[in-house]
Chain A
Amino acid sequence: MSVSVQEADFDVGVETQALSAGRLDVGAVATFVGLVRADKLSGEGSEVSAMTLEHYPGMTEKSLEAIVTEAQARWRLQGVRVIHRFGRLVPGDRIVFVGVASAHRGDAFAACEFVMDYLKTRAPFWKKEDTPEGGRWVDARDADDSAAARWEK
């Protein structure tokens, strides 16, 4: 298990390959990459030119590690890699990487989605979008709470 919170970009190919490097027991690697979208803001017609991601150093790493530990308790996983960026990002930039290695695809798909759903509601990151009208904090979405809630036992 490895968690990184960093300003720098990451290489999806390198991270994906590392999940199975030197192992013959990995039969499935599922990955998710989150990107900055140039959304139109509802009703305003202005596009996002950039965003700044703030986080809570210390708690961020702890919360991501706790989410990965929870995933490892629920599924049989051979490797988990989580990278989340912070700082200033522009549309098209990568924000987050979740990669999960397991023997079979079922565990890999489920754990990858679980980590993202929990990350969305439990990891202390906040997005502020730059728009022509100035900075605007992104509101949390109820849909993210529902997505996380479906994993509760």
Chain B
Amino acid sequence: MSIKVLYFASLRETLGYSHETLTLPAGVATLGDLRSHLARRGGVWESLGEGRNVRAAINQEMVGAEVAVADRDEIAFFPPVTGG
């Protein structure tokens, strides 16, 4: 399963990446799984770990950690929004 992951704002700066393409290993089924998978890279990636205030979108719609990830999804991680 191949997906595109985008990072925004302070999270993009912390990680040093704005986007990447990932091939997911078996066992990464939901958004929450993906977050844990990325956080296990260690170092700055722990800012995606459990308990951190990170929001996520799948295919440009904000969703919760329980939502399933599908092949070719566009997934985005970002801090709480501050527009307006």
Name the one of B10, B53, B78 contacting A124, with C-beta atoms under 8 angstroms. B78
Q: Judge whether B81 is part of the interface by a CB distance below 8 angstroms.
A: yes
Contact of B62 among A63, A127, A139 (CB under 8 A): A63
Neighbouring B residues of A96 by C-beta, 8 Å: 83-84
Q: Identify which of B76, B83, B84 gathers the most chain A CB atoms within 10 Å of its CB.
A: B83
CA distance A111 to B6 in the complex (A): 32
Q: What separation, in Å, do the CA atoms of A148 and B17 have in the docked complex?
A: 31
Residue pairs across A and B with CB atoms within 8 Å: the count is: 73
Q: Are B9 and A123 in contact (CB under 8 A)?
A: no
CB within 8 Å of B: which of A46-74?
A: 53-56, 58-59, 62-63
Interface of chain A: mostly helix, strand, loop or mixed? mixed
What 1/0 flags go to B1-26 for Cβ under 8 Å of A?
A: 00000101110000000000000000
On chain A, the number of residues with a Cβ less than 8 Å from chain B's Cβ atoms is: 27
**Structural contact, A127 and B60, CB atoms closer than 8 A:** no
B83 A140 Cβ-Cβ under 8 A: no
Contacts of B60 in A (CB 8 A): 56, 58-59, 62-63
Do A56 and B78 contact each other (CB < 8 Å), given the known contacts A124-B8, A128-B9? yes
Q: Would you call A126 and B62 a contact (CB within 8 A)?
A: no
Can you add 6 more A-B contacts, CB < 8 Å, to A53-B83, A124-B81? A56-B76, A95-B84, A119-B83, A120-B83, A125-B84, A137-B79
What is A's interface to B at a CB cutoff of 8 Å? 34, 53-56, 58-59, 62-63, 84, 95-96, 116, 119-128, 137-140
The 7 closest A-B pairs by CB, nearest first: A125-B83, A140-B80, A126-B9, A59-B60, A137-B10, A120-B84, A138-B82
